[in-house]
């Protein structure tokens, strides 16, 4: 038999558990509502939604790079804004329209199994080198660098970026082309690429060279 105190404690535990479960259900419903709302917006405005999503994720990648990789005490807002603009006006539209081009170009292939491989080969042979190359130029222009500085930056970073890219993106893109619907391909890539964006923005960020020099000095000490 439970005494009054034990009975009161048991009721309190049951009540607390029920409240917690109800709150979790509300949270799950809210998350599902957000997902459905995002899906509806994606259907109505696919290109705008993909571009905005890419911009948000590129921006997040830069924040991660500054805080976790470079360990900066204060966020460089100007640099983050630059990458937000870069994601919105360059990466987002480029990737979105590229996937649509691939889908139109290889949409009538007789072999369904061959389609993703065709897209992957074309994507990694042409688009991947091009988007990274022009990214270096665009970011240099946004930083108001001289043409000689932009060329020097390309010579310094382009090969490293491409080597790192080919270690990651062929597999990611193969999954993307096989399993992900067209409207969500750029979003899938952008979501998966948070780690890549962190590396990318660190590599191309205006503080990267200073960070590398400090790291080398610390290792030498």
Burial of 202 per CB tally in 10 Å (0-12, 13-18, 19+):
buried
Residue 73 per-residue DSSP state: S
Tokens of 89: 């006006």
- pLDDT for res 108: 55
Element (H, E) at 88: none
Nearest residue to 76 via CA among 189, 188, 207 = 207
188 and 53 in contact (C-beta within 8 Å)?
Answer: no
- pLDDT for res 14: 67
Chain Cα centroid distance, residue 24 = 28
Q: Which residues contact 67 (CB under 8 A, 6 or more apart)?
A: 75
* Per-residue pLDDT tens digits of the chain, which is 221 residues long: 545 555 666 666 666 777 776 677 777 777 778 778 877 888 888 888 888 988 888 888 888 888 887 788 888 898 889 889 988 999 889 988 998 898 888 865 555 556 888 889 999 999 999 999 999 999 889 888 899 999 998 998 899 889 988 988 899 898 888 888 887 887 787 777 777 766 766 666 654 444 334 443 444 44
- pLDDT for res 45: 87
How much is the CA Rg of the chain, to the nearest whole Å? 23
Q: At what angle do helices 46-64 and 77-86 cross, to 10 degrees?
A: 150
- pLDDT for res 93: 92
Domain locations in the chain as residue ranges: 45-218
- pLDDT for res 214: 45
Phi-psi region of 71 (alpha: psi -120 to 50; beta: other; left: phi over 0): left
């Amino acid at each position: 038999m439970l005494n009054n105190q034990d009975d009161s404690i048991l009721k309190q535990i049951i009540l607390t558990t029920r409240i917690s479960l109800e709150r979790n259900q509300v949270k799950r419903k809210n998350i599902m509502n957000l997902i459905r709302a995002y899906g509806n917006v994606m259907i109505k405005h696919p290109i705008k939604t993909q571009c905005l999503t890419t911009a948000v994720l590129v921006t997040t990648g830069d924040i991660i790079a500054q805080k976790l990789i470079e360990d900066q005490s204060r966020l460089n807002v100007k640099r983050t804004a630059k990458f937000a603009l870069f994601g919105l006006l360059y990466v987002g539209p480029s990737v979105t329209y590229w996937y649509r081009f691939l889908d139109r170009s290889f949409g009538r292939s007789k072999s369904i199994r061959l389609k993703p491989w065709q897209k992957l080969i074309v994507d990694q042979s042409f688009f991947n080198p091009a988007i990274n190359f022009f990214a270096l130029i665009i970011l240099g222009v946004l930083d108001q660098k001289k043409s000689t500085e932009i060329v020097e930056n390309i010579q310094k970073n382009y090969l490293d970026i491409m080597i790192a890219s080919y270690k990651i993106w062929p597999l990611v893109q193969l999954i993307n082309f096989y399993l992900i619907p067209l409207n969500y391909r750029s979003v899938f890539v952008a979501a998966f690429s948070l780690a890549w964006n962190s590396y990318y923005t660190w590599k191309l960020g205006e503080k990267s060279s200073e960070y590398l020099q400090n790291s080398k000095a610390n290792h030498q000490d």
